[in-house]
Structure 1
Amino acid sequence: MPEMTSDLTWVAMLLPFAAAVVAPWLTARFGAAAAWFLALAPALAFAHFAGFLPEVAAGERVTGGYAWVPSLNLSFSWFIDGLSLTFALLITGIGALIVLYAGGYMKGHPQQGRFIGFILLFMGAMLGLVVSDSFLMLFVFWELTSITSFLLIGFDHSREASRRAALQALVVTGGGGLILLAGMIFIWNITGVSQLSLLLSTGDALRESPFYLAALLLVLGGAFTKSAQFPFHFWLPNAMEAPTPVSAYLHSATMVKAGVYLLMRLNPVMGETPAWEILLPFFGGITLLVGSILAVRQTDLKLMLAYTTVASLGLLVMLTGFDTEHAVEAAVLYLVAHSLFKGALFMVAGAIDHESGTRDIRKLGGLGKLMPITFAAALLAGISMAGLPPLFGFLAKEEIYYALAGTSPRAILFTAVAVIGNALMFVIAFAVGLKPFIGPDGDTPKHAHEGPVMLWIGPLTLSVLALLGALFSGIAHRFVTSPMASAVDGELQTVTIGLIPSLGAALALSVVTVILGVVLYMGLERLRAAVDRVVTGLGLSPDRGFDHFISGLVRFSTSVTRYVQNGRLETYITASFVFVAIALLVTPFVYGELPTVLNLPTEFDLHEMAILVIAVIGVIAVLTANDRLTAIVCLGIQGFAVAVIFLLYGAPDLSFTQFMVETLSVVILALVMTRLKLSPSDHRPALARLMDGSLAIACGLGFGLMLVAATSGPFDGSLSAFFAEYSKIIAHGANVVNVIIVDFRGVDTLGEIGVVMITGLSILALIRIRVGGAPAAPVLAEPVPSDVAPHPAPPKKKRGTAK
């Protein structure tokens, strides 16, 4: 496939971030009107990506980027084909309308600038996600969408419900992101590539790998949590605690489709396997039914739309995993249609709430004559959601049935699931897009009227686009849906469906859906009550399950922390040495790396024997000492013996360092012991002594085996030769040891100096403690906070005063 390069795409990717930086300042200066300026950033990005439409429609792909860590094949790169381009246009185009909508919806709010800034930050993160070529870039932007959505969902942080919903979304989607990271590492190791553009050219490498199923499950874990698939669907309706612009943008048109985007992106290299074609339709079908059934139970406009978003995401996942010829085309059509009508309906719901003071459908009615423009936008979007002509949703629904219809039991099952789900979404479409605007006037807290232009320009634009996309379907297919379907399928696809349906099973299923939808809509109140009774009777709630999970996790973490971090230095040291012993002993035995030859000297000189004898005497003295001070002094014998060994074997610099360290250690420890007046003898029980002695022997044995194994092999002098050759040339030093310490490993030496400094400060603090009395006065007098200041002493009574 031919490719073209673009060097300005990074500018378009950074535009939303740049606008987010100046959003608070502009809003503080110009108020709601600043939204018109801020919307220029996504509008310019939209224009940039729209410029690629002719090339992408002709079958080209746009690439570009910069090498970051070439040795690890890491890069800051982008990859634009039909799939990523469609997402980029939806993100920036709808994003520009959402910024305007937020300007009108949040007008007068003291934190309006911060809110729009968060929206723009999320926009930049989502845009980076869909155009990223590098695995690392995709993961970074993936997690950034979780973080920014956390900020947006919890924007009204004074409300407990908002804080809980934000935390829930962050835990579910952020945790899924970590699972996805593991999946991408699997893919990286299997294929050897770290870029999506190269991954698509690996053919069946992933499918034929024995680790394919593990990689697939990890990828599905990330995608299902992000796109709210059952049983992770509960976080999305709870996210409706966010202001309506967030719901209209994040949780209908963009963020929740990130998982669907990932599945579509990986379909050419991971699809067409039994696991793919079983798991995706199964979980997608369940999500479709659960979301659509729970939607009719709601009375809040936003919650009704939220649950149908869950259902729509399930339908997209089901179609992506289906193995028929037109399933990919149906998924592409429905994704575009859903972004248009659901974004519009969410903004309509927000406008109704903004102008009437309520989103309760039971209190709404007769708004059509009061809000005519909003009514027009709502009706068009509702018709598209219901799958009726002449809107783009009709094309998507016809293609869905055309892809699913068949005579096999599997085809019949999933076709029935699609019919039921679409019929229930038909009900919600007109319950939101029609019912509040017709009939008698409702009982609303405020007298409604048409909102400002910022509130209706967004939904009206999206609704008109859905109409134009259907009327001029040939143009839409040529530039949008056909290139997108080709990218998802991995082969050239041409979408041809138009407004004039052909007689067949698809049209018959569409008629059945409409009839069923009309019947259910006429009995909406009874249907809502029946669903509520069933759901209440079952008592199943993944939402409550999440609360129990978090509560149990907190209790478990608290217990582990109390056990591991108990404040006893002895526990920490023991744990450290246990893991050291395990690392030194278990690994050689498991992998058969024990030394086979012991290169021990057969003859010792008299002075060498003397040093060994002194070391042994020092060990015995330490073990038999009656008090700790004597043990510390005897412990210095070991260090001095090692220093003498260094000296005998030609390392005077190292020997001098060892002498200094041992002298200072003995002096400082002795000083600390005398000042602290610790117990003069060891009162540990025999079992504790035995365990500590065994641990010490295990660590000593492990280090001994490691040294023997290291010295028994052939000596590699390449590093020594390098230092000897380049110390003078590079570091201008003749003393190789000093050059290594100061220049070649200067950062390491700096860290050691920092450790010594911290140790010295700790020792100083210990020395200044007065045993048996009040602590010494602090060196620096600092003000004491009032909430931790000691209570003042009671005033002394004066002589002669009455009691």
Structure 2
Amino acid sequence: MADQAAVTLLCLFLPFLAAVLAPAVIRAFGHAGSWLLALAPLLSFLHFLTFLPEVADGGVVTGGFAWVPSLNLSFSWFLDGLSLTFALLITGIGTLIVLYSGGYMKGHPQLGRFLCFILLFMGAMLGLVVSDSFLMLFVYWELTSITSFLLIGFDHEREAARRSALQALVVTGLGGLSLLAGLIFLWNMTGVTQLSLLVHVGDGLRESPFYLAALILLLGGAFTKSAQFPFHFWLPNAMEAPTPVSAYLHSATMVKAGVYLLMRLNPVMGATPAWEILLPLFGGVTLIAGAFLAIRQTDLKLMLAYTTMASLGLLVMLTGFGTPHAIEAAVLYLVAHSLFKGALFMVAGLVDHEAGTREVTKLGGLRSVMPITFVAALLAALSMGGLPLFLGFLAKEEIYYALAHGDLRAMLFTLVAIVGNGLMLVVGFTVALKPFLGPHVETPKHAHEGPLLMWLGPAVLAGLGLLGGIFSGIAHRFVSTPMASAVAGELRPVDITTIPHLGMPLLLSVVTVAFGVAVYLQIDRARAMMVRLLAAIGNGPDRGFDHVISGLVRLSVAVTRMVQPGRLEIYVTATFIFLALTLLVPPFVYGELPELPAWPTDVLFHEWAIILLAVIGLFAVLRASDRLTAIVSLGIQGFAVAVIFLLFGAADLSFTQFMVETLSVVILALVMTRLRLSPRDHRPLGQMLFDATIAISCGLGFTLMLMKSTQGPFNAHLTEFFNAYSKVIAHGANVVNVIIVDFRGTDTLGEIGVVMITGLAVLALIRVRPRNPLPQTRVEAPADGDRP
């Protein structure tokens, strides 16, 4: 078991290792180096493949190690039917994507950097789906956002790519913060920090008064990551990334992270009214919006992007629907979608790479020159359309079996599924047929079949969609049933086959296909209708994002100008205002004011004299005619306090106070004599009263705090510790010196550093010379003694 855990840990980090080596490998071997780099995800895929029999028999694979035991934080993984299926999709499709990238970007000077980014993302996504601990899940979740930002903005010289990358990072980054808050809620509500342990606290979690708050926060993370309405706009814009990114991140992996999270939480947070209302509602709206927006597009990648959005909505709707077979339908559709959508995105990239355009209206007749690509596209489209013998057919049948019931809610969502699936069939066949059938159309490049590196991926994925449907028993045994059982939290066998069974699901499938074919035959008219509809609606969330960011920037500028105007006076004033509030508000609000001390009756004459001297010094500061006199007078209070320390037996503290006051007065006086400052304080009376109020408030606050502190019971633990161990440990008889030099040595070193930096700053300040110094003139002192 220890060896297995070590190999699993190595496989989790293999993509990161390959990412580090990618630039060097590409420099050494060119685009052929993609074959070497593809070994990393391939080896991980083969390792995870060995877990299939154990997981299919109901087992789980766990491992990891304690990270921060005191906080119950660990680096741990948990492989059941759900996480293992995702791990196989990520590493398996990732292997094909690395190869595809080598062909698609052959000759690109930054191929090494690109493969580094995509392998980093692969490692992040793999870590996300196998994570058991909350902390590990969140770290990898955010890492997928960062790496996707790098990939979307790969072509950073284009403004559209930079905008799309920033948009994706902002939206998914905010969702990540929402997820973090939700995980903290779960931690505090349940006391556990591992997803696998949540299964045992499901009822308590659902009955908690904080359930709804935790659910909304977690949905914020899931909905932004999986592009649910109204956070969907970043996904189509992410198509600015190179096609391998679109095929991998935005169809098969990253955008399904939110769906994965919802499926993982379904056993403990599902089966509640909030769950079964919010998920189907947002999922259904996303499905319809994505399907209608897809048929409006003419760019192959954008058409597929919006159908990805629609498919994610369908998965969310099924996950939250609440019927026994809805989870099975979601599981089947998730796997089928990863296969056919990854294949179709690669086909779109192939067409663009070989023909020079992705505009479907400018393509046609490519079947004869790109036969392998055409076959792969057709197989993937047949699965996407849900036709027999394909895994997509099984998914669609199970969807209708799960949704089709007699109540109004079921009929409404069944209608949503029919419309969404029908329109996705239209897009699938538009991508698979329009560029290849019909008369040949002249394209910007002389089209021909792509290289092996490019057509291998779509051919394999499309073929797996067919094999998964034909050999459905094997697929259910090792994939569908373990995955559905993990999502449901109980054994949930999947046994649907490709043999059509008469009944309502088959009838609804026929209706869906008929609807899709009808729209496909009128695709130009449907596209024109959507253009007019969107024009009537006006700006959508994408434009709203720009307005929000623009408003945020203007607000930031205004706030910055207000709180950081560049005037030291304002900074100092604000600092002391907040200091006064911090000192005065809590005692008054919480009733922690100190008791007024009794008037002292045993104060000696010389002690009164020192106090009187301090008061005289205070008035001397206030009445000083210039700043230099005020600074010198300010030292009177410090020396008076030092004498009081001396009178009460604190000789070392008194000596420190004398030194500090002497140095402060000398340094400040030196600075004041070298700077050109106004000799008098020209503040208006109102400003002086305002500043005086702040100063008195700060002084009063410190006075109250010190009085409250001294009135509390004295805790002698530290005193006893220092008395007992100063000589034993530090070999010093002077306890105060030992505390400063040994027990608080680092603190003392910091204070010395502060004094040194202050001295250097003062030295630099007094050596400043104006660039155009004014001529020095002798000014005779006026008769009244005032200095000029």
On whether the aligned pair clears a TM of 0.5, the verdict is yes
Tell me the equivalent position of 1:91. Answer: 90
Tell me the equivalent position of 1:623. Answer: 622
Amino acid at match of 2:274: A
1:624-643 alignment to 2 at 5 Å?
Answer: 624-643=623-642
Tell me the equivalent position of 1:65. Answer: 64
Shift of 1:607: 4.1
Bigger drift between 495-504 and 19-28 goes to: 495-504
Tell me the equivalent position of 1:708. Answer: 707
Amino acid at match of 2:220: G
Shift of 1:138: 1.4
**Gap change, CA 1:322 and 1:601, over 3 Å in 2:** farther
Tell me the equivalent position of 1:797. Answer: none
Distance 2:733 2:158 in 1: 68
**Gap change, CA 1:74 and 1:754, over 3 Å in 2:** farther
Q: Secondary structure at the residue paired with 2:324?
A: coil
Tell me the equivalent position of 1:191. Answer: 190
Distance 2:357 2:536 in 1: 29
Amino acid at match of 1:277: E
Q: Aligned pair 1:219/2:203, yes or no?
A: no
**Gap change, CA 1:59 and 1:603, over 3 Å in 2:** farther
Q: Secondary structure at the residue paired with 2:202?
A: coil
Q: Secondary structure at the residue paired with 2:200?
A: coil
**Alignment size in residue pairs:** 774
Distance 2:3 2:416 in 1: 42
Tell me the equivalent position of 1:28. Answer: 27
**Gap change, CA 1:347 and 1:741, over 3 Å in 2:** farther
Distance 1:270 1:650 in 2: 67
Q: Aligned pair 1:666/2:665, yes or no?
A: yes
Residues 67-115 of structure 1: per-residue CA shift (max 9 Å, x gap): 2222222222222222111111111111111000000000000000000
Distance 1:384 1:750 in 2: 70
Tell me the equivalent position of 1:237. Answer: 236
Distance 2:581 2:320 in 1: 46
Q: Aligned pair 1:698/2:719, yes or no?
A: no
Bigger drift between 497-506 and 122-131 goes to: 497-506
1:404-423 alignment to 2 at 5 Å?
Answer: 404-423=403-422
**Gap change, CA 1:562 and 1:511, over 3 Å in 2:** same
Amino acid at match of 1:18: L
Preserved CA contact (<8 Å) 1:4 1:61:
no
Amino acid at match of 1:297: R
Tell me the equivalent position of 1:782. Answer: none
Tell me the equivalent position of 2:519. Answer: 520
Residues 367-387 of structure 1: per-residue CA shift (max 9 Å, x gap): 122111111111111111111
**Gap change, CA 1:450 and 1:68, over 3 Å in 2:** same
Distance 1:244 1:581 in 2: 59
Amino acid at match of 2:545: F
Shift of 1:460: 0.9
Distance 1:340 1:732 in 2: 74
Q: Aligned pair 1:140/2:139, yes or no?
A: yes
1:556-575 alignment to 2 at 5 Å?
Answer: 556-575=555-574
Tell me the equivalent position of 1:583. Answer: 582
Tell me the equivalent position of 1:752. Answer: 751
Shift of 1:598: 4.5
Preserved CA contact (<8 Å) 2:62 2:77:
yes
Preserved CA contact (<8 Å) 1:621 1:634:
yes
Tell me the equivalent position of 1:180. Answer: 179
1:642-653 alignment to 2 at 5 Å?
Answer: 642-653=641-652
**Gap change, CA 1:56 and 1:667, over 3 Å in 2:** same
Q: Secondary structure at the residue paired with 2:230?
A: coil
Amino acid at match of 2:559: V
Bigger drift between 398-407 and 751-760 goes to: 751-760
Tell me the equivalent position of 1:430. Answer: 429
**Gap change, CA 1:719 and 1:270, over 3 Å in 2:** farther
Shift of 1:205: 2.7
Preserved CA contact (<8 Å) 2:388 2:500:
no
**Gap change, CA 1:483 and 1:737, over 3 Å in 2:** farther
Shift of 1:632: 1.0
Preserved CA contact (<8 Å) 1:4 1:62:
no
1:71-470 alignment to 2 at 5 Å?
Answer: 71-470=70-469
Shift of 1:574: 1.2
Tell me the equivalent position of 2:594. Answer: 595
**Gap change, CA 1:8 and 1:678, over 3 Å in 2:** same
Q: Percent of pairs identical after alignment?
A: 73
Tell me the equivalent position of 1:679. Answer: 678
Distance 2:502 2:207 in 1: 41
Gaps of 5+ in 2: 775-788
**Gap change, CA 1:350 and 1:736, over 3 Å in 2:** farther
Residues 755-777 of structure 1: per-residue CA shift (max 9 Å, x gap): 333322321221112257359xx
**Gap change, CA 1:734 and 1:86, over 3 Å in 2:** farther
Bigger drift between 652-661 and 9-18 goes to: 652-661
Distance 1:139 1:569 in 2: 41
**Gap change, CA 1:670 and 1:58, over 3 Å in 2:** same
Bigger drift between 329-338 and 130-139 goes to: 130-139
Distance 2:497 2:338 in 1: 19
Shift of 1:577: 1.4
Distance 2:594 2:563 in 1: 35
Q: Secondary structure at the residue paired with 1:375?
A: helix
Shift of 1:733: 4.6
**Gap change, CA 1:719 and 1:266, over 3 Å in 2:** farther
Shift of 1:653: 3.5
Residues 249-275 of structure 1: per-residue CA shift (max 9 Å, x gap): 111111111111111111222222111
Shift of 1:329: 1.2
Q: Secondary structure at the residue paired with 1:205?
A: helix
TM-score (norm 2): 0.95
Shift of 1:477: 1.5
Preserved CA contact (<8 Å) 1:3 1:60:
no
Shift of 1:298: 0.4
Preserved CA contact (<8 Å) 1:16 1:41:
yes
Q: Secondary structure at the residue paired with 1:200?
A: helix
Amino acid at match of 1:60: G
**Gap change, CA 1:730 and 1:493, over 3 Å in 2:** farther
Preserved CA contact (<8 Å) 1:676 1:771:
no
Preserved CA contact (<8 Å) 1:427 1:520:
yes
Shift of 1:674: 0.7
Q: Secondary structure at the residue paired with 1:6?
A: helix
1:505-544 alignment to 2 at 5 Å?
Answer: 505-544=504-543
Residues 395-439 of structure 1: per-residue CA shift (max 9 Å, x gap): 111111111111111111111101100000000111112221111
Q: Secondary structure at the residue paired with 1:715?
A: coil
Preserved CA contact (<8 Å) 1:6 1:62:
no
Shift of 1:65: 1.8
**Gap change, CA 1:720 and 1:76, over 3 Å in 2:** farther
**Gap change, CA 1:607 and 1:86, over 3 Å in 2:** farther
Tell me the equivalent position of 1:613. Answer: 612
Tell me the equivalent position of 1:773. Answer: 772
Q: Secondary structure at the residue paired with 2:67?
A: strand
Tell me the equivalent position of 1:787. Answer: none
Shift of 1:366: 1.5
**Gap change, CA 1:178 and 1:464, over 3 Å in 2:** same
Shift of 1:658: 2.5
Shift of 1:497: 1.3
The CA RMSD over aligned residues, in Å, is 2.0
Residues 590-622 of structure 1: per-residue CA shift (max 9 Å, x gap): 333333574875532344333322322222221
Tell me the equivalent position of 2:10. Answer: 11
**Gap change, CA 1:767 and 1:193, over 3 Å in 2:** same
Bigger drift between 409-418 and 638-647 goes to: 638-647
Distance 2:649 2:501 in 1: 94
